[in-house]
Structure formats: C-alpha cells, structure tokens
Chain A
C-alpha cells in the first residue's frame, strides 16, 4: 500500500520529519518498506512541443522546438520520439540539477544546440515510466514550475506493508487515522456532498439483493454528461505514484476513491444495462461470464454474481466486472456501484478463480459498510469537478451486515496480558482516537464498541492488541520469566549430538540434502518401494517424491562431489524418511535415520564406521547379518543390521549398478540405520566392571572355518564359551590360501582373559582355551589351525 504524505494531510494535520513519521508508522504495525522524498525539482518547467525535426547528423535523436510560454521556439535535442506537436512536456532548463545529481547545461549534440532536456517520468523520480518523455495532461500551465503544477514539491511517498488484520489501513484515510491518533492530532473524515440535477436515480436504475449473506449493502448513483477522457494531472500523478496506471477519467476516479477511502467500486455504462437494473445472486453451476480482462470465467454455485434485468451475469461480485457493460470512449451515462460484500465468499471466489484484484483484496479483508454513501458522494464530487452531472438521490439497498462488535474490555486483563499498569481511562484514551467507542461500566470494565471499519476486531484480545499498539510496544517494560524446571536436552537429543560429534571427530562431514526426490531416483538407486509418498503440488517434477530412504540423496551428494573433483568423500546425514501410512494411520510412517558414506572405500570401511556408531552409543543387541538381498547394495558385500530379528539398517558396499546409474566411478561404503529405533533399545549406561589388579593373559586361536560361516557366529560362540573371564575379544587376522581349501578361510582371534580376584592359573587358562576350541569346532565345522 503506497501513500503520499500530502494525501494523508487531507485527513489530518500531520507534521514532522519524514523519516520519523515513517518510523512512527512502522511502530504502529504499518511497516515502511521504502520511502521516497520528492525534491522541488527547481528548474523543471512545463513546455509545449511546437515542432519536431530530424537531426541532420544523427538517427537516434531528433530536434524538438518547444515553447516555454513566450512563444519563442527553443531547440532541444531529444532521444525520445513519443511526443507530438501540441503535447505539454517537462523541460529541465539550463542549470537544473536532476534527482540523480546530473546538472543540465547548454550542450551541442552532434553539432546541434540543445537548450535543456525533455524528461521522462522516471528521470524526474515520478514513477517507473522511462519509455518516453512524460506527456503531461493538457491543462497544466505553460511555463510554470512542474512540481507546483503537479502539487508535489517536498512530498513523501511511503510504501507500507499492511497486515491482513488491518483492512482499515488499506486506505489513505485509514493510515491517516492511525497516524493522527499516534501523533495526537485530530483526524477528520470529510462528508462530501454534490449538486444534483435531471431525472432522479430511482427513475432510471434499481437494485435487488437476492442473497443477503453475499451482499450486505448496495449503494448506487447515476452520473450523466460524462466525457470519458483524461483525468486531471494531479489525480493521474497520485495514481501512478501509488502504483495504479491512469486509464481514463472514470476508471481513474474509481481507483482514486478506492485508494483514498478503501472502498472498491464499479462503474457500468448505463446504456448497456437493460432498464438500469442490477441484481445480486449466487451463480448457477457452470455459469459463464467474460470479465473485464477478456477472460472467460466459469463459475460455481458458491460465487456471487451481478446480474442484469434479464438475469444474465454481468460481473463477478467483488472480484471483477464483466466486459459487456464496460465503460468505453462513447459512454455518457454511468451507473456507479458501491457495495459491501461478505469477505468469505469473495475470498473463496478469488482463490478458486486465481483472480486477485485490488478490489477483491480489500473485500476479502472486510471493507467499511458505513462508508458507502459518503464514498459514492466522493466519487460524484470528483466526477462533477470534471463536468459530469449527478442524478438526484442514491439507491441504498441492504442485505445483512455484521453488527459492530460490543466487547467488555477488562483493564485488569489488559495489564495482565501486557505486563502494564494502565488505568481504565488511560486505556479508553488510547482507543477513542482510532474509532472505538468506550463506556466505563465498572472500575475495571470498558464496554467497547468496535468501529465498522475494523471487522477483524471482535474479541477482548483483539482490542488489547489495539491498546498495545497505541500504548507503544517499545514502551512496555521488558521482564524475563523463569522456568521452574532446569533447561535440558532429552536423552535422545543428547546422544544424537554425541554421535554427531564422534562422527565429525572421525572425519565425516555432515550433509543436509533436500528431502525431495525425482520420480526415477528410487529405481536408479535399486529401491523398489510400493507407493512412495508423493507431493500433490510440487513446483518441479524433480521434487515430486518424499524420500523413503536417505540413500538416493546421499548418492546425489557423492555424485555431485565426484563431478567437482572431490574424491574419497566421507559423509554422514541424520534425517527423516517417509514410508506410506501404516494401517489406518493418516500420516506417513516417518522415522529418523543415520546414513554414513565413504567414497573410494570397500565394504570393510562400512563395518568400521558401524563399529564406531555402535561403540559410541553403547548398543547391545544389534547384530550384523550377511545378506545377499539388501536393496541397493552389492549382493555379496552387504549385511543387514538386526535388532532381535527386525531389520533396523544395512551396511556394506553400494551396488556397482547403482553407482553407475548415479555416474559414480568410485566404490562407496555405506551404512544406514534407523536412529530412533536403535536408541529406543537398551544401550549405553553400562554397569561398572571392576578393573582387575591381577595380570591378564592373552590366548590366540585361529580356526579354519567354512566361508559359509560368518566370523560373527564364531565370535559369538567364543564369547559365550569363554564367559566372565573374557575381558576382550579381537578378530586380528583373516587368511585365505590354497592349503586351506577353496571354500574356507582362517580367522584368528585374540582373547584376553582375566579374573577380578586372582591371577588365573595355567590350568584355568588351559581349560577355557580347550572349551573354546571344542565349542567352535563342534558348532561351526571349524578346525583349530595348528
């Protein structure tokens, strides 16, 4: 919402430094996004084009003779060609300093004299139009100072961000009211009136509201002797500065009134409206209409329409008018609509049709139903100044309008919520200037009547916010509450942090890929997941699938790095994955996983990374089981991570086919585990085991074991057999050789044995050793290697 300071001043005597006024508006919740102070543009005057001639030595500039009021032709070289003889244009005379700092001097351009510069609106800081010279409205006075003619000197343009709960601030008058209250100066809404003549309105026009829950109030007037031409210069300038393109004298007045009072309105060519009758009803299903922008719109039963005497739709209520009754160059009689619409149907229609207009934006936030008659009179007042005549009387048809909310406001509640110590009368004094009527009924309570221009305000809390705004957020004393409990991370959060720190310490870099996948990413990664969760409205197809695994995202990162010559990367990610909802669940099955990838490494690196994780977290009961069928993984170099018999993860090497599909030329070791699952199992917090002061003994055992027997199985047997004397067990060598046979290998372990209370004897050690050998040989078809 753009507002001019000069326009605000038509409603209240607002004075002060432009920057401080901007700060005040920001602190009232109307944030100043940008501010522009217009200089006086001394030296820029109104000139008239007398003749245009080609430049003898240049094609891209022409010679323009202008009259500055004395009838003497002054030659200017000009790079624009959009002016015609008789046009009034801005001339920066010799000695003028332009807003960008350039000084205008008498110059020769390719041998021809130039006595100043003709200016575009952009060059003057008066809008964005830099396509050509600013052609001024015909009535500006020849030879006069431009800013004086435009009424602009020293003016300030603010671009305000208006929040959805401030429909009142979608108008110049509303901004002025709020700012005036803050500054403690009076706000005055003029009551416009206009001379009337000719046939009264009720003889030429009528309005019927068929749906009072759609249209709360419909005010109409008729204007005659309308000449559709240019609107006055000052109006065009204000409109263009406030971001609306000047169109013609009728549309400009319509927009001007909307910006000024926040009351969108619509004009019909009365000659095109049979019998001058307008009706308001809901559309029928699939009813069609061509709107002002020449678009064919298909409506539903929820949309509101304006219909003519034949019940044909001629406009979409509150959103956009129809093409059939549009004002044209030959229009002389105008039927003016100033309606109040219920916000919700307008919001639904504009959303469904994806058709947002300045009007619908205001209607869906809620306009002021009390302002309709004054606003039509303002419209007529501005048209009458352009020579139109106004038919006597106005039509004022009512549907249902919301009543002004009456709210009991407790001073104690105000202070309780804000942390202030205001008196009841102080609270009242903050509300009255912004249109809230208050009446004290008890020591504590103010009965507050909300103004019709604040439909957003219906509850006590809504009003407390208004009190706070005008008390000043910055004025409220700052205090710090204290939780009765100590702040802390949960055990899960702390362990996840520890894990992250350990992984970083071990050289892994944490990555955060986007959680979206392209539709083919799963197939490329060798994952076949039935019905992955997909997005209904992704902006790009490549972001259409919500990841059911961290692997594709990690592959993408490894591939990206490899393509940028970052080889051998060591990465990890902790993030959520999404599987289809289980059973009757509404939400997807969402779990938190850890992934680790080591590029340029084989499966054994994955095992070491897993050992780091398991060791850090003190996991008990997660086992590693070689599997040939782990999706996405190398068929003979992969294992499942099992908790009881539930799969909680996988590790090994990524399938070479998957790597090729991602364009990765290195081997990649990979671990993936469901973090929330393993951390919900017993882990960590191990009981202290006394560090024995007695010597320990090591025994080494190597077994020739069939390949089909995993080392982990032998290890489990050794642990179980050695029992409580076993301090540690380490697999230290694996050896394959012809002498061991084709399908076997030797695996060697060191067992460190120790007792807490005595030095183990040779006999004790020998017994444990023999038991271990017997057990492994018996259970695993293994043989002690001599």
Chain B
C-alpha cells in the first residue's frame, strides 16, 4: 500500500529529526517539521479526507498509531535533552563546600556577660528580679548602712579606692554590690527577691587572680519568716541549677558585719565533683562566696522592722566562675580584650 509506505517513510524521517536534535532549542525548532500541520505527517492527515471510507479507516488508524509513536518519541527526547541540560548546568555550578573559608561572621559576648546572663536566668527562674546601681558610692551606702561604722576594724577586709572630690574619704568606688541592696531596700517594701550583679573595685595590684576592677553578684531576700534554712535551700537550688545536679553546696560559719549568722558558701569541686583533686586541694569543696542572714542593724538602717521581717543575702565572684568553666588560669587574660581570646567563647 503506497500510502502506508509513504506514512512509514515520513515517520522514519520524523524520528530522524527527533533524534537528530542535539538541544532543546533545536528540538523546539524542528517540532513543526515533525508533527506540525505542515509536516509530512500533518499533510497525510489532511489527505485522509480524499480517501475511500474503508481505506480511510485503515490508513487513518495506521497514521494515528504512527503519529502517537512519533509524539512519544518527541516527549522522550525532550525529557532526555532537558535532563541532560540540567545535568550540564549542575555540573557547571559544582562547588567544593570544603574549600569555603570558615567565617561565621558572628561576634561574641564577653565571657563575663555570658556568665552574668546565665546567672540572671537561673535566679529569674527562681523568682528574682535584677537590680543595678552606681559604681561610685558614698561611704554610707558602701559601709555605714551595712553595719560598718568608720572605725570598724573589719573595714580592713576591703582595700578601698577613694575619689578626689573634696569630700575626704566619703566618695569611693564600691567594694561590693551591697550598696545596691541598700538602695533596693530603701526604695521597695518587702517582699524583696533580687540579685545585684555588677562591677566592683578593690585597691589590688593586678595578678593572675586579682584586678582592681572585677565583677560580683549578690542576692537579697527580705520577707516575713525568712530563715537560715531558706538561705541554705536557696543556695542549694541555685547550685544545682547552675553547676549541675551533682554539685551540692554547704555553709560554714564565717563573719561579715552585715549578716548574722554569717557563712562561707562552699560548693562541691566542679572538677572532681567532690571526690578530691588538685583544684580543691583534696577537700572536695571550693569556696564560692559569703552569705548570711541580713543583720538587724542593716534592716533598721533602711527603715525595715527587723522583728517583722527577716532576710538573707549572699555574694560571690562572677569572673572566677568564668575562669573555672573554661579552664582559664589568669584573670588578666579575660580583660586584655584580645579578639583571639574573645572569639573563642
């Protein structure tokens, strides 16, 4: 049958065009010649109308089958070319992710700030607010209100830096953040649950464990019915939250003019967890800070009735916590502000 043979020949030519197109663009350009109205196969479709019905049916079926095959071949080829071109594009975009220089571009908060924020978060979780105050203070706020009259021998516990302000020794750099506690008690009626982190000052020569300016956090609770047991329990709860559940605290009798009973606040050595090592001199304990029940004279000095209200206070160094956590030997390293130090944490 001549027509069928002609159709087959046209189909062969169309398949040739399909496989001959090397790119999607070429294939698209060839599409009218393959299946378009003016293509050979398109021409046959138009010519069907001139055939006898029987022949038309037979030729028509054959033509449709052939066109379907060509159409499938066209789709397959298109998909094949598209995939190849995508692959080529990807290949062109290939990137070695291990050759990218490391630069997170992030800055770092100072270790002291990081430590303060961790401490604040623990105490905020325990219901405390955070109080701040001036770093320069009067003698009254730093000493006298805290039950340390001018001649008191215990003043020698703090080597104080004084300022030249034509006021004698009245104005000084606070030696602890306790004056903030005094200010809070003056401004706020109990119940008081607050912590006071901040910069404090001592007349110390710089060495591996001393600087004239360093950081401290103190806490104050004043309410009805606050007991020494509350102090011990609060410090225990803080210790577990901050250092981890395995670390416990203990209190030892001590002396501070502004608290009574007073105590040293020890925690299990964070290195050996209490079994004894070099860091804790084999005692299993590290001295962290001081604490005690707020002295009645201190409460009276700020107008709080010590018979109605009782309270406790505690304080410890912040810088040393940072040194301990990161194994830093020399306090001074933390304050030279060398970016090679700052960016490690």
- Report the separation of the CA atoms of residues A478 and B227 in the bound assembly, to the nearest whole angstrom: 9
Known contacts A479-B230, A485-B191, A535-B161; is-contact A576 B237 (Cβ 8 Å): no
CB distance from B249 to the nearest CB of A (A): 9
CB distance from B225 to the nearest CB of A (A): 7
In the complex, chain A residues whose CB is within 8 Å of the CB of B234 = 480-481
Q: Which of A165, A418, A480, A576 contacts B228 (CB 8 A)?
A: A418
CB distance from A341 to the nearest CB of B (A): 13
Q: Is the CB of B230 within 8 A of A465?
A: no
In the complex, chain B residues whose CB is within 8 Å of the CB of A514 = 211-213, 335
Instruction: Of the listed stretches A443-451, A586-594, A698-706, name the one at the interface; the rest are far from the partner chain.
Output: A586-594
Q: A537 interface residue, CB < 8 Å from B?
A: yes
Q: A767 interface residue, CB < 8 Å from B?
A: no
Known contacts A503-B107, A569-B339, A587-B138; is-contact A512 B252 (Cβ 8 Å): no
Q: B199 interface residue, CB < 8 Å from A?
A: yes
Known contacts A416-B225, A490-B129, A508-B107; is-contact A587 B137 (Cβ 8 Å): yes
Q: Which of A469, A509, A533, A546 contacts B261 (CB 8 A)?
A: A469
**Using an 8 Å CB-CB cutoff, how does the interface string of A693-733 with B read, 1 for contact, 0 for none?**
00000000000000000000000000000000000000000
Q: A28 interface residue, CB < 8 Å from B?
A: yes
Q: Is the CB of A489 within 8 A of B130?
A: yes
CB distance from A405 to the nearest CB of B (A): 15
* Smallest CB gap from A494: residue in B: B130
Q: A310 interface residue, CB < 8 Å from B?
A: no
In the complex, chain A residues whose CB is within 8 Å of the CB of B108 = 504, 509-510
Q: A2 interface residue, CB < 8 Å from B?
A: no
Q: Is the CB of A504 within 8 A of B106?
A: yes
B residues 221-279 in Cβ contact with A at 8 Å: 221, 223, 225-230, 232-234, 236-237, 250-255, 260-264
In the complex, chain B residues whose CB is within 8 Å of the CB of A417 = 227-228, 261, 293, 310
Q: Is the CB of A512 within 8 A of B254?
A: no
B residues 124-169 in Cβ contact with A at 8 Å: 124-130, 132, 134-138, 151, 153-154, 156-157, 161-165, 167, 169
Q: B15 interface residue, CB < 8 Å from A?
A: no
Q: Is the CB of B136 within 8 A of A590?
A: yes
* Smallest CB gap from A570: residue in B: B107
Q: A305 interface residue, CB < 8 Å from B?
A: no
Q: B170 interface residue, CB < 8 Å from A?
A: yes
Instruction: Of the listed stretches A191-199, A558-566, A654-662, A742-750, name the one at the interface; the rest are far from the partner chain.
Output: A558-566
- Report the separation of the CA atoms of residues A359 and B165 in the bound assembly, to the nearest whole angstrom: 36
Q: A163 interface residue, CB < 8 Å from B?
A: yes
Q: B50 interface residue, CB < 8 Å from A?
A: no
- Report the separation of the CA atoms of residues A473 and B253 in the bound assembly, to the nearest whole angstrom: 7
In the complex, chain B residues whose CB is within 8 Å of the CB of A28 = 253
In the complex, chain A residues whose CB is within 8 Å of the CB of B117 = 497
- Report the separation of the CA atoms of residues A756 and B113 in the bound assembly, to the nearest whole angstrom: 44
Q: A239 interface residue, CB < 8 Å from B?
A: no
Q: Is the CB of A165 within 8 A of B255?
A: yes
Q: Which of A348, A480, A489 contacts B233 (CB 8 A)?
A: A480
- Report the separation of the CA atoms of residues A416 and B310 in the bound assembly, to the nearest whole angstrom: 9
- Report the separation of the CA atoms of residues A561 and B341 in the bound assembly, to the nearest whole angstrom: 11
Q: Which of B107, B253, B260, B263 contacts A510 (CB 8 A)?
A: B107
Tally chain A residues at the interface, Cβ within 8 Å.
91
Q: When A and B form their complex, what is the total count of cross-chain residue pairs whose Cβ atoms lie within 8 Å?
A: 250
- Report the separation of the CA atoms of residues A28 and B254 in the bound assembly, to the nearest whole angstrom: 9
Q: Which of A365, A482, A537 contacts B203 (CB 8 A)?
A: A537
Q: Which of A483, A513, A533 contacts B163 (CB 8 A)?
A: A533
Q: Is the CB of B252 within 8 A of A588?
A: no
Q: A423 interface residue, CB < 8 Å from B?
A: no
Instruction: Of the listed stretches A139-147, A389-397, A456-464, name the one at the interface; the rest are far from the partner chain.
Output: A456-464
In the complex, chain A residues whose CB is within 8 Å of the CB of B293 = 417, 461
- Report the separation of the CA atoms of residues A539 and B161 in the bound assembly, to the nearest whole angstrom: 9
B residues 30-44 in Cβ contact with A at 8 Å: none
- Report the separation of the CA atoms of residues A164 and B126 in the bound assembly, to the nearest whole angstrom: 34
Q: Is the CB of A347 within 8 A of B153?
A: yes
B residues 179-220 in Cβ contact with A at 8 Å: 191, 193, 199, 203-205, 211-213
In the complex, chain B residues whose CB is within 8 Å of the CB of A513 = 335, 337
* Smallest CB gap from A364: residue in B: B153
Q: B338 interface residue, CB < 8 Å from A?
A: yes
Q: Is the CB of B212 within 8 A of A581?
A: no
Known contacts A473-B251, A487-B128, A507-B107; is-contact A588 B136 (Cβ 8 Å): yes
Q: Is the CB of B295 within 8 A of A461?
A: yes
Known contacts A459-B296, A476-B229, A543-B212; is-contact A507 B136 (Cβ 8 Å): no
- Report the separation of the CA atoms of residues A513 and B163 in the bound assembly, to the nearest whole angstrom: 20
- Report the separation of the CA atoms of residues A511 and B113 in the bound assembly, to the nearest whole angstrom: 10
- Report the separation of the CA atoms of residues A508 and B107 in the bound assembly, to the nearest whole angstrom: 4
Q: Is the CB of A348 within 8 A of B151?
A: yes
Q: B336 interface residue, CB < 8 Å from A?
A: yes
Q: Is the CB of B130 within 8 A of A493?
A: yes
Q: Which of A488, A506, A533 contacts B124 (CB 8 A)?
A: A488
CB distance from B109 to the nearest CB of A (A): 5
Q: Is the CB of B253 within 8 A of A483?
A: no
Q: A419 interface residue, CB < 8 Å from B?
A: yes
Q: Is the CB of A587 within 8 A of B151?
A: no
Q: A224 interface residue, CB < 8 Å from B?
A: no
Q: B171 interface residue, CB < 8 Å from A?
A: yes
CB distance from B286 to the nearest CB of A (A): 13
Q: B321 interface residue, CB < 8 Å from A?
A: no
- Report the separation of the CA atoms of residues A575 and B278 in the bound assembly, to the nearest whole angstrom: 37
Q: A176 interface residue, CB < 8 Å from B?
A: no
Q: A343 interface residue, CB < 8 Å from B?
A: yes
- Report the separation of the CA atoms of residues A512 and B109 in the bound assembly, to the nearest whole angstrom: 10
CB distance from A97 to the nearest CB of B (A): 23
Q: B110 interface residue, CB < 8 Å from A?
A: yes
Q: Is the CB of B125 within 8 A of A487?
A: yes
- Report the separation of the CA atoms of residues A557 and B334 in the bound assembly, to the nearest whole angstrom: 13
* Smallest CB gap from B232: residue in A: A478
Q: Is the CB of B253 within 8 A of A469?
A: yes
* Smallest CB gap from B292: residue in A: A465
**Using an 8 Å CB-CB cutoff, how does the interface string of A416-431 with B read, 1 for contact, 0 for none?**
1111100000000000
Q: B316 interface residue, CB < 8 Å from A?
A: no
Most buried by A among B107, B213, B226: B107
A residues 8-32 in Cβ contact with B at 8 Å: 26-29, 31
Q: Is the CB of B109 within 8 A of A500?
A: yes
Known contacts A26-B252, A418-B228; is-contact A507 B335 (Cβ 8 Å): no
Q: Which of B120, B125, B135, B263 contacts A473 (CB 8 A)?
A: B263
Q: Is the CB of B163 within 8 A of A590?
A: no
Q: Is the CB of A487 within 8 A of B227?
A: no
Q: A187 interface residue, CB < 8 Å from B?
A: no
Q: A515 interface residue, CB < 8 Å from B?
A: yes
Q: Which of A164, A476, A566 contacts B255 (CB 8 A)?
A: A164
* Smallest CB gap from A346: residue in B: B153
Q: Is the CB of B170 within 8 A of A487?
A: no
- Report the separation of the CA atoms of residues A427 and B167 in the bound assembly, to the nearest whole angstrom: 48
B residues 63-78 in Cβ contact with A at 8 Å: none
In the complex, chain A residues whose CB is within 8 Å of the CB of B191 = 483-485
Known contacts A473-B232, A483-B191, A487-B123; is-contact A418 B343 (Cβ 8 Å): no
20 further A-B contacts with Cβ under 8 Å, apart from A166-B255, A461-B293, A539-B203, are A29-B255, A365-B153, A461-B260, A478-B233, A480-B126, A480-B234, A487-B127, A488-B124, A489-B130, A504-B108, A509-B107, A509-B342, A509-B343, A515-B199, A535-B173, A539-B205, A560-B337, A575-B199, A586-B165, A587-B171
Interface residues, chain A, with chain B CB atoms under 8 Å away: 26-29, 31, 163-166, 343-344, 347-348, 351, 364-365, 416-420, 459, 461-462, 464-465, 468-469, 473-474, 476-490, 493, 497, 500-501, 503-516, 533-540, 543, 546, 557, 560-561, 564, 566, 569-572, 575-576, 578, 580-581, 586-588, 590
5 inter-chain pairs at a CB distance below 8 angstroms, sorted by A residue, are A417-B228, A465-B261, A473-B261, A476-B228, A512-B113
Interface residues, chain B, with chain A CB atoms under 8 Å away: 105-110, 112-113, 117, 120, 123-130, 132, 134-138, 151, 153-154, 156-157, 161-165, 167, 169-171, 173, 191, 193, 199, 203-205, 211-213, 221, 223, 225-230, 232-234, 236-237, 250-255, 260-264, 293, 295-296, 310, 334-340, 342-343
